[in-house]
Every structure is written in structure tokens, then in C-alpha cells.
Amino acid sequence: MSGSSAIVPGDACLFLDFDGTLVDFAAGPKSVIVTPDLVPMLRDLSNRLDGALAMITGRALDDIDQMLWPLQLPTAALHGTMRRDGSGKVTIVGNPSVEDFKVASRRLCQQFQRWVARHPGVCVEDKGLALALHFRNAQPRWTPEPDDLKILASLLTPDLELLSGDLVLEVRLRGGNKRTAVEAFLAEPPFTDRMPIYIGDDVADVPAMETVERRGGMTIAIGARIDARWCMPDPAALRLWLAALARRNDPS
């Protein structure tokens, strides 16, 4: 995407996935390395866009805030289940029963732990309102079989759904997703009447990308897991591009 910053208008707004997009995948969610330049660059880029920069992530809100401290950007967390808008107001999408989720997640966690015990390197991440099974580091390499997925499906209540990502399975509350999060941001300041740009790397990003493209926006895929109009090879290339964009005196 050499020279592509020239096509970004001054009235753009930017939506960024985190893992696999801004930062490289690591052995586990807590092992991700946030490069020293990332937070200052995002701060400068947000200022350049008058605050119209949002994180769209599967991480919990507290988790992404810790990763990007001291920044507290507009954020759709847990794939859109929880959203902090441009004014700082945090809402949980829909009317989920947190207590019901806790009951269901205990059963799901028991099943996840069986796989953890059988397959070294597999780990469970409790996100509060979501539960993820990471098998990137399974030794030997392992992925859940169709029968495993049937077992999980039998444990889901109507309020829960199963998401498949890059070497991760996640159970979350139904309701908001990355697409609905982007739509909500675009309906309110500081994102209103700006050209949207969405950057992601995984299948969970595709519905949001489709929405952005329908609205005449720009989509960028990181890596080779999904397709978009533009692509970059890895998070390092994206960070260089964003840094150049943040430094421009006139991004139009």
C-alpha cells in the first residue's frame, strides 16, 4: 500500500481492530507486545481526526484500556457487546442477563477445561461477558473437531452465540457485533458525516467492512485471512502507514 495515505481524506474516521491488526499475535492474550510508539501514534492520529478514531475489538474494555494506557479511546469491546462512545459513556448492547451468562459460562468453562487438560498449550480466557478458548499454541497442533463444536452448541442458551476466529473459539452474548458497533459510531459525533475506514484481519471484521464499503468507505485487510479492497502484510506495515498518516500536516 505504498503511498496510500494520499487517498485518505481529511474528514475520515478510523475504526481499528487490535489483535492481529495493530499488534502481532502472541502466545496468549496477555503476552501481546504493545510497541513503544503505538500509544503516542494513536493519540496523535486521534487528534488529527478530531477524535474520530475507535477501537473495534474482541478484548474486554478494561483489557484494551490497560493495553493502550493512558488512552481511553471510543471503543467497541467484546465484539460489540460493550461500547464506549465518543463522550465516554459506556453501554452494554441489548438487555443481556449477566447472571444468566455466568451460569452458562460455568458449564462452558468446564468443557473448555477438559480440552485444556487434554491438549497442552490450549488456554481459556474469561472476559467477563465472553469466554474464549485459545488453541494457537496447542502442542501438538489441535483444533476442535465438528463433534466438539456440537458439544459446545448443546451447551449454548438462546442468548449466547459461538464465534470462530483465528485459532480461537469464543462464546458471547447475542446482540451487538462489530457491524452494529460501527453503525452506532457513524450515527453520532465525532464520527458523523465522515468517510469511514475500517482495518481488520479476521472473519469477525468482515460484516463491519461490508457496512463501511456500502457507505463509500475504505477497508484494509491485514494479512491473508480475509480480503478487502486494500491489504497490508502485517501489523508492522500498518503501524508505519498510520504513523505516516498521523504526521501529515494535511491528511486530505
Question: Which residues are catalytic, by number?
Answer: 17
Q: Report the 10 Å Cβ neighbour count for 30.
A: 11
**Preceding amide of 9 cis, omega within 30:** no
Residue 250 main-chain phi, psi, to 5 deg: -140, 100
Rounded to 5 degrees, what angle do the CA atoms 251, 237, 37 make?
75
Q: How far is CA 71 from CA 38, 191, 197, in A?
A: 11, 18, 20
Q: Hunting for cell 462489530 — which residue is that?
A: 178
Nearest to 218 by CA among 232, 233, 203: 232
**Preceding amide of 40 cis, omega within 30:** no
| Amino acid at position 71, single letter | L
**Preceding amide of 189 cis, omega within 30:** no
**Preceding amide of 235 cis, omega within 30:** no
- For residue 252, give the C-alpha cell: 486530505
Q: At what angle do helices 146-155 and 98-118 cross, to 10 degrees?
A: 150
d(CA 199, CA 81): 19
